Amino acid sequence: MFIILQGGCAGTTEDNVPEQTLYHQLGGMPGIDRIVAGLLWEIAEDSRILPLFTKTNITRFQEKLAEQLCDIADGPCTYTGDTMKEAHRRLAVTPAQFNNLVDGLIRVMEREGISVGAQNALLQRLALMHGDIVFS
């Protein structure tokens, strides 16, 4: 069972974030929090990827994922979590599991009404992490 927290990133301000950033297209911090919460439900319902999260501190994962999405979307956050390589090095994530998680993220963004352009922009930025997550 996942606990859903609303929060965003601490110590940030949206006052200086240009309105046309990917961050704003995702709905700002409230939108990112909804995306992360939705993704947690997707993970919980997917037996192919759920085993990767059995030893995960879900509260920390949720906080750091929101912080990371905010950061890479040009929002007011700075990602302070582990590197993707460090966080995933012992998990043996397969390409199929990676793709299943991406599919879940797409479903969440579609439900949230995120434009296809914004979805593609986020996915393009996240794709850069593939080599640090999947060790094949």
Binding residues: 88
Binding residues for heme: 88
**CB burial string 96-130: b at 16+ within 10 A, e below:** ebbebbeebbbebbeeeebeeebbebbeeebeebe
